[in-house]
Chains A and B, each alone.
Chain A
Amino acid sequence: MIELRFCREIYRGRSVDEAIKVFAPHADMVRSEGPEHWVVQVSAATPERERRVAGELGNYALGLTVKSGGAPGKEDGPG
């Protein structure tokens, strides 16, 4: 299992949520929230698959965040 911790100051919660929806068919994902981070746990059949899905999920969330103008702040919650 790989745990991704997305800093709320940098990542938009809705972007992380959208990325989870896109990559959910490829691995099991559990989303939770910390005071400073959006946390996503990724589990897949093999470690290599886990690593790849987690990496692509992170890139996708970052891309959506950048395209939407960056993180608005810590108040933004996952959609």
Chain B
Amino acid sequence: MTLQPAGALPADLCTFDAQGASVELRVDAALYPLTALYGAAYVFIDRAFVLLGREDATHWRATLAWKRGTPPEGALRELAGEFMNELLSCAWRAGISEESRSILEAVTAQAFAGAMGPPALDDLDNFDFSEDALDDPLGIAMSWEEKYGKAKSADAKGDVPRDPTKDAEPRPETPQATKPEGS
């Protein structure tokens, strides 16, 4: 079979046979993974006979043969161009799929974990509740009473001290809320 350059398409990438019944495409394996080649070829098997192969260590070879008779003028070149476009699209989608694989796995794992339902009593028995759920150095999660309320000690007038022996000792002054002047 004598191969000729395919018009406007790069001659080193695309050639078609002398009878004009098939076109051979040379595909860089570094740019287009095998999954992309599979995807593009699968799209075209209803329009052409597709045969894939290895050109050399760094290139795939895709041969598209017209299914019936002789193709119309320019049809084979159009077929080759559409195949290359589809190949580029498939390679791009394969790249996105590879990049988002970890996210998909994490979401799927969370979905399966949620689908397992609430924990059983045995799970709760073994659960470690000692760990603080919230680290709150600024005291934001404290209630108003805990943060600003009066101390529950003998500081207040008239209260009975909890420990009478310590009552004689001088107590540190508790900070009082200052009233605005003129009130």
Contacts and interface: CB of A to CB of B under 8 A. Distances in A.
B51 A63 contact: no
Interface string A1-14: 00011010111000
Contacts of A63: 42, 45
A9 B34 CA distance: 10
Interface of A: 4-5, 7, 9-11, 36, 51-52, 54-56, 58-59, 62-63, 65-66, 70
Contact of A55 (B41, B52, B65): B65
Interface of B: 34-35, 37-39, 41-42, 45, 49-54, 60, 65, 67-68
A7 B52 contact: yes
A62 B43 CA distance: 11
A7 B67 CA distance: 22
Q: Which 3 A-B pairs have the closest CB atoms?
A: A55-B49, A59-B45, A66-B38
A62 B42 contact: yes
Contacts, number: 46
A11 B67 CA distance: 21
Given A9-B54, A10-B34, A70-B35, A58 B42 contact: no
**Residue from the set A5, A55, A58 with the largest chain B CB neighbour count within 10 Å:** A55
B49 A58 contact: yes
Contact of B50 (A36, A52, A58, A70): A58
B50 A66 contact: no
A70 B38 contact: yes
**Residue from the set A10, A36, A52, A54 with the largest chain B CB neighbour count within 10 Å:** A10
A27 B67 CA distance: 17
Nearest to A70: B38
A4 B38 contact: no
Given A70-B34, A70-B35, A10 B45 contact: no
